[in-house]
Chains A and B, each alone.
Chain A
Amino acid sequence: MASYTDKAGRPIVVVTGMGLVTSLGQGKEDNWAKLTAGQSGIHRITRFPLDSMRTTIAGTVDFLSESGRTAPDLSEQLAQLAADEAIDQSGIGSKGNFPGPLFCAVPPIEIEWPQRRILAQEAAANAAVTYDDLLRAAETHQHGAWHERFLYGSIADHLADRFGTRGQPISLSTACASGNTSIQLGVEAIRRGDCDAALSIATDGSVTAEALIRFSLLSALSTNNEKPEAASRPFSKNRDGFIIAEGAGALVLESLEHAVARGAKILGVVEGVGEMADSFHRTRSSPDAKPVIGCMRAALADAGVSPDEIDYINAHGTSTPENDRMEFTGMSAVFGERIGSIPLSSNKSMIGHTLTAAGAIEAVVSLLTIQNGRIPPTINYETPDPAIPLDVVPNVARDAQVNRVMSNSFGFGGQNVCVIMTGEPA
């Protein structure tokens, strides 16, 4: 009988259900087929007019009923679909009765332009419109539903109602590392014995015109607009920024003991999670990569494994000049000379950067990689960057036995979280 605890004596945390939605499609099957075929989900934006925009491409999810509505509306639907799939696969609890807490990473939320415009029109100001006019319109009209919609907590609250998770859900953000943090919080809660199961979701349906403009003003986005599917070029010499995108990932986490007791199929083990904050700059990483190195080492230590035991890296790989160089520097320090020969790929080459959702989506893809013995490629790798020599599994998927994955996520605000996963409980 295998042990239910890990080397450190903590409950082993396993994954028993996974779900995802990206610009490539809905569900694991569809996404996996397209990811391993090297297909891109990046396309010309149709959601809003593009006149005068420097970037005109994105990985928006345009095939859902809430696509093009508010960011929280679409984010909630994405999260719900991913979680539906994960819970279905897991078979845990019963319908509307999930036996554990919800940790939900959500994008920035605020009242949006359509609502502001309605309020301004209702206010019918004679002179220049100010927020006092909007306040007056809000007081004299019935827009109570917008209050709820634009609270940070409302996405997770609605999901908690739908899935019947326990207690007050935690809505969180660690920017582009949020997906990994949602997993980390679940892992910690199970290890502490607070619960036997947890639902970790990360979602982002926030590609509005203003969001695109904000990232564009920070010069973070690619302007390779001509051929959208070829714009995201992680680790290539001619990479020029990330592609903003939408999606959601969901994982059902459980203690191994709980999963075994109910006869659940185990999809993978979350062996370790590490984090370290960076105090260097609001948007840039420390050039010496120390926090990223510390974060990866913390994850390895938490998992109780050595760098030699990692045989695939699901890179953060955003396709920005700075991230990919810094990530290489960090990985080189952690893995030494071996870094050149460890297969590594960036899912973002195909689905773009799903921001808040990225970590959870990439965790799902990482476990699918282990399950299928097949590594999704880094597409658009035509011009290698000689400064960062890596085996990025260029352009074509590769069959390989993968036992243990490291998945990195880094974000604005000095956020770094690294997750280590394996297929079978030891």
Chain B
Amino acid sequence: MSDRRDVWITGIGLVSSLGEGLEAHWAALNEGKPVVDETGFAPYVVHPLAKINFDSQIAKKGDQRQMEPWQRIGTYAAGLALDSAGIKGNKDILGTTDMVVAAGGGERDQSVDGAILTEIEKQPKPDVFLNEQLQSNLRPTLFLAQLSNLLAGNISIVHGVTGSSRTFMGEESSGTDAVRIGFSRIAAGTSEIALVGGAYNAERRDMLLLYALKHLAKHAPWSPVLKSANGVPTGSAGAFLVLESPEHATARGARPIAKLSGIWSERARRGDEGAVEATLATMIATARGDTAEGTAILSAASGAPEPTKAEALVLERSGLPVRSVTDRVGHGLEAQMPVALAIAALSVAQGRLFPPLAGETLEKPFDEALKRVIVTGVGHWRGEGVALVESVD
């Protein structure tokens, strides 16, 4: 709509298996070597988080202890984003910053669970035993490290973001919708600045279990997802974007990294033959508009066989140059769309696309100046998301 405002990306915080920050990611993306762990969680492959010094964004050890790894990853990435936007510690701005976080749930105490499961079937009253064990052995504060909205809560506490705080769940779509709602409010003039993103810890067996129930967790060895699509290679990652109206950014002398020109969320009826392909093709056409010049696609495809095959087919038909985000950093579920958007913004800011990955046959060299990136993400079970990131001229 014509009365809508532009939405700038003025800050990016990104951590993954490739490192932390934009420079490290740009270097690693150009080098083209994914970091994978094929033995620690055998038989599965995961992309482990790079070594991070959490102290640099979460100063208090007490705060760190109150968090599970997914919350630390997210709180850390949020801090990087605020730094990148130049608003870290700026109480006036943080007090009006609107936050939308995409989150799942936290890690269970797997040793407590294991101990209970080892003994429970031998008990005369298993349910009574269970309750006794949980009461004696669960850490009281673990609950808070598991609650979905406590990533946002920790960001409020550690970084002072208090304008508003909303948490979306619902796997991949929650990442798309978190960005979409932050974007829509700024575009409509009801918000000036927003912190949006998510975090995921892949290095946990209880999360792998959720995928394994449907036989969707990717087994080693690693392989490119668009070519093989034989399971979800999960990856630890956190990504936050600072979205801002041009007026607000200009007034405080901030420069845009890139422009978020649109973001769309859909729900194909997956039971219908060809529904994912049709939905995604329409969304890409909307994002693409009239020009393909300087345009590439970054795919956040999960690696789950059916939806990823559908996505790969549509990407191939688009004729646009394609890169798989998941090949490089793994799949971060709720965080995957924010991660892909961070890499998209980084790429248009650099003005070129990073090189293809060996074995991912859909990826072709692209040497033109890069001006626009369409991000696609088809959820491993539900939900299709597309976004358009453009360079700011």
A→B interface (CB under 8 Å): 48-49, 51-53, 106, 108-111, 113, 116-117, 119-121, 125, 128-132, 134-135, 138-139, 143-144, 146-148, 150-153, 156-157, 160, 167-175, 181, 185, 188, 191-194, 209-210, 213-218, 275-283, 291, 411-415
Contact = CB atoms under 8 A, between A and B. Distances in A.
A192 B143 contact: no
Given A167-B266, A168-B266, A111 B210 contact: yes
Nearest to A275: B164
A109 to B, nearest CB: 7
Contacts of A210: 134
A275 B141 CA distance: 26
Contacts of B152: 277, 413
Interface in B37-83: 66
A152 to B, nearest CB: 4
A166 to B, nearest CB: 9
Interface of B: 1, 66, 99, 104-105, 108, 110, 113-115, 117-118, 120-121, 125-128, 130-132, 134-135, 138, 140-144, 146-150, 152-154, 156-157, 160-171, 173-174, 176-177, 181, 184-185, 188, 190, 205-206, 208-217, 265-267, 381-385
Contacts of A181: 166
A97 to B, nearest CB: 14
Contact of B267 (A110, A116, A168): A168
Given A113-B130, A128-B118, A276-B162, A415 B168 contact: no
A181 to B, nearest CB: 6
Contacts of B157: 279-282, 414
A152 B174 contact: yes
A348 to B, nearest CB: 20
Nearest to B178: A170
B162 A156 contact: no
Contacts of B169: 106, 109, 152-153, 171-173
B143 A131 contact: no
A414 B205 CA distance: 30
B161 A277 contact: yes
A276 B166 CA distance: 10
Contacts of A134: 117, 205, 209
Nearest to B270: A157
Contacts of A153: 169-171, 173-174, 381-383
Given A217-B138, A282-B153, A48 B205 contact: no
A128 to B, nearest CB: 5
A168 to B, nearest CB: 4
Which of B110, B134, B181 has most chain A Cβ within 10 Å? Answer: B134
A168 B213 contact: no
Contacts, number: 241
Contacts of B141: 218, 282
Given A51-B131, A131-B205, A151-B210, A110 B156 contact: no
Nearest to A166: B267
Given A52-B128, A147-B216, A192-B184, A171 B138 contact: no
A188 B185 CA distance: 8
B214 A52 contact: no
Contact of B165 (A121, A139, A174): A174
27 contacts: A49-B125, A110-B206, A111-B213, A128-B114, A129-B117, A130-B205, A131-B110, A144-B215, A147-B213, A150-B210, A151-B210, A168-B176, A168-B266, A173-B149, A188-B185, A188-B190, A215-B143, A217-B140, A218-B143, A277-B152, A279-B156, A279-B157, A281-B157, A282-B154, A412-B153, A413-B147, A414-B162
A156 B190 CA distance: 27
A132 B205 contact: yes
A18 to B, nearest CB: 23
Given A173-B167, A215-B143, 15 more contacts: A146-B213, A148-B214, A167-B265, A171-B174, A172-B166, A172-B169, A173-B147, A174-B149, A192-B185, A209-B127, A276-B162, A412-B144, A412-B153, A414-B156, A415-B153
B147 A151 contact: no
Nearest to B151: A413
A121 B66 CA distance: 33
Which of A128, A152, A169, A210 has most chain B Cβ within 10 Å? Answer: A152
A175 B146 CA distance: 12
Contacts of A188: 185, 190
Contacts of B184: 192, 194
Nearest to B142: A214
Contact of B168 (A53, A170, A191): A170
A344 B108 CA distance: 40
Given A131-B205, A210-B134, A144 B165 contact: no
A117 B143 contact: no
Given A135-B209, A173-B148, A414-B156, A185 B383 contact: no
B19 to A, nearest CB: 28
Contacts of B149: 173-175, 411-413, 415
Top 3 A-B residue pairs of the complex, sorted by shortest distance between their CB atoms: A413-B153, A153-B170, A152-B169
Given A152-B171, A153-B383, A116 B125 contact: no
Contacts of A218: 140-141, 143-144
A192 B190 contact: yes
A277 B165 contact: yes
Given A48-B131, A172-B167, A110 B105 contact: yes
Contacts of B142: 214
A53 B131 CA distance: 8
B280 to A, nearest CB: 13
A412 B128 contact: no
Nearest to A52: B132
Contacts of A175: 147, 149
B381 A277 contact: no
A147 B117 contact: no
Nearest to A128: B118
Nearest to B104: A152
A170 B170 contact: yes
B162 A169 contact: no
Contacts of B188: 192
A131 B206 contact: yes
A120 B319 CA distance: 48
A77 B339 CA distance: 34
Contact of B160 (A150, A157, A193, A279): A279
Which of A53, A139, A148 has most chain B Cβ within 10 Å? Answer: A139
Contacts of A49: 125, 127-128, 131
Contacts of B108: 110
Nearest to A153: B170
Given A131-B205, A167-B267, A413-B165, A116 B134 contact: no
A291 B205 contact: no
